Homo-oligomer: A and B are copies of this chain.
Amino acid sequence: MRGPSTPYDLKRAIGRSVGYFWNFPHAQLYAEPKRLQGAGFLDVHEEDTGRRRKIYTITEAGDAALRDWLAEPVKEHFELRDIAEIKLFFNELAEPDDVARLARDQIEQHERRIAEYEEMQRRYGGIEGVSSRMVTLELGLGMEYAAREFWRGVQERVERGEFSSMKRRPTAR
């Protein structure tokens, strides 16, 4: 989509797009093109002076492989990976105050993210060509709204004393 790019270019592009819902450790972005090049899906041009940038270009084979992959059905269900959710799952072992703080922090975090996303929508929403890349932003927003509502509910319930701590773990099987 971007044309020939260096890993660093990708890193920045990702930071403003897919990075919001799929984390890429930057070291990966240097290792992966190397592999793809080995597989014949990318060509490299390495500068021989200065910063020695490596500019990768997709090959015909790479283009074909990408399109094949896109046409392939998705079997995996999405995975959430939410530390806060894990902690809430173990709420019985925590103090109600901890749960309350967890909920408060989560609401704040999701609100911040919602503000970011809504700002992006306002800024780039109308622009021709870019808007088809904005579709996924809506999913992100939907998820954020749902999460915010959920944690608000948790907060209310904590306030009503519906979470209680279990001081000792069970020792019997």
Contacts and interface: CB of A to CB of B under 8 A. Distances in A.
A interface majority secondary structure: helix
A63 interface: yes
Nearest to A172: B3
Interface in A65-111: 66-67, 69-71, 73-74, 76-95, 98, 101-102, 105-106, 109
Interface in A138-154: 138-140, 142-143, 145-147, 149-150, 153-154
Which 7 residue pairs are nearest across A and B when measured between Cβ atoms? A78-B82, A142-B146, A70-B94, A21-B80, A79-B81, A146-B146, A3-B170
30 contacts: A1-B90, A3-B169, A3-B170, A3-B173, A21-B80, A22-B80, A57-B171, A66-B93, A67-B94, A69-B87, A71-B95, A73-B102, A74-B83, A77-B109, A78-B82, A78-B85, A78-B147, A79-B80, A79-B81, A82-B139, A88-B139, A89-B136, A138-B150, A139-B147, A139-B150, A142-B149, A143-B143, A143-B146, A143-B147, A145-B146
